[in-house]
Amino acid sequence: MKSHVRLIVAILCVAVLSVFLVGWSVTWLARGSYLTAVIMLGAGIMCSTATFQVGYALSGAARPRTEYGAAGTVIRPAKWLDPVSIVGFICGVLAAGLYLVFAPQGMVDYVPRGTLRVGVISLCVFILTFGIPVLYRMFQHGDSHLRLHPDGFEIWNGHWGIFKRGEWDEIQQILDRPARGRSIGREMIVFKLPKSSAMLVTDTITDNSDALREWVRFYWHHPECRGELVDGRALQRLHDERFATE
């Protein structure tokens, strides 16, 4: 179990920022500055959805949706989670785009100065370059998921824009944090592959990420059991937390 102190502090700061931005949008609206109000509201909603998502993960309330069939066993988060993220990304992208288009023309009444101005512009550029591809992939791949099948795996981490398919033989390690760099303080499964790694954040999928990680590791280590992935036995194994061969 990871220590979440830093993550809690960070998300509290984002929560305060989201309340401030939404409140500020009301102030701009009352002043008749409608464009500025829309930008502030969009930024506030984006921060609010990020706060909600992480708060949901930390609450331990996450329960997976599961299915199985000829295409393998699929583990997904709650059905409403990705739509909430999509709303947040759309609001953030719209707010950033409106600011970058109209601020240079003097049509945005909020005018940051000096270093803050550079920071706001850089943040808007980042939101656009990260958010637009993520939104495209969210509509392309649907809900975030982990799919295991007898021939390999598929992960789609919608909130982070990570999609990867691979075969079992490609996996070098199954880790609980990135092989390089600092941990982000979230529960995850990291597939270490020959030329890259693929990360699936799991604390919004299940409240027992350790079991899910061991479940993946079990089928990586035991190819003779992978036939279970096309029927209900794999899900039963996960439910029972049986990660040793009988």
Q: Are residues 89 and 173 in the same domain?
A: no
Provide the 8-state DSSP code for 113: -
Q: What's the whole-number average pLDDT of the chain? A: 92
Q: Is residue 245 assigned to a domain?
A: no
**Same domain assignment for residues 43 and 106:** yes
**Domain match, 114 and 178 both:** no
- Do 27 and 104 lie in one domain? The reply is yes
Whether 2 shows a pLDDT value over 60: the answer reads no
Among the ranges given (6-10, 12-16, 83-87, 203-207), the one the predictor scored with the smallest mean pLDDT: 6-10
Rounded to two decimals, the pTM is: 0.85
- Looking up residue 208, the CATH number of its domain turns out to be 2.30.29
Q: Is the pLDDT of residue 239 over 90?
A: yes
Residue 22 lies in a domain: yes
Are residues 91 and 128 part of one domain? Answer: yes
Same domain, 13 and 123: yes
Half-sphere exposure at residue 236, Cβ-oriented, CA atoms within 13 angstroms: 6
- Within 10 Å of residue 154's Cβ, how many Cβ atoms? 18
- Comparing CA positions, the residue from 174, 211, 213, 214 lying closest to residue 193 is 174
The verdict on 14 and 112 lying in the same domain is yes
Q: Does a structural domain hold residue 167?
A: yes
Q: Does residue 140 or residue 97 have the better pLDDT?
A: 97
Would you say residue 148 lies in a domain?
yes
pLDDT tens per residue across span 112-128: 998 999 999 999 999 99
Whether residue 172 is contained in a domain is answered as yes
Are 30 and 95 found together in one domain? yes
More confident position, 234 or 141 = 234
Helix and strand element counts for the chain (H, E): 6, 8
Last residue of a domain, one of 116, 141, 166: 141
More confident residue, 177 or 86: 86
The reply to whether 150 and 134 lie within a common domain is: no
Question: What does the pLDDT read at residue 83?
Answer: 92
The rounded percent of the chain whose pLDDT value lies above 90 is: 75
User: Environment class of residue 170 by beta-carbon count within 10 Å: exposed (0-12), middle (13-18) or buried (19+)?
Assistant: middle
| Domain final residue pick, 87, 117, 141 | 141
**Residues 47 and 152 both lie in one domain:** no
Q: How many domains does the chain have?
A: 2
Do residue 225 and residue 107 come from a single domain? Answer: no
Give Dmax over CA atoms of the chain in angstroms. 71
pLDDT at 182 over 80: no
Give a yes or no: residue 183 inside a domain. yes
Residue 43 resides in a domain: yes
Does the residue 52 lie in any domain?
Answer: yes
Which of 96, 122, 141 is the C-terminal boundary of a domain?
141
State pLDDT tens for residues 21-74: 999 999 999 999 999 999 999 999 999 999 999 999 888 899 999 999 999 999
Same domain, 18 and 46: yes
Q: Which helix (H) or strand (E) holds 45?
A: helix 34-59
Which domain covers residue 176, as residue numbers? Answer: 144-240
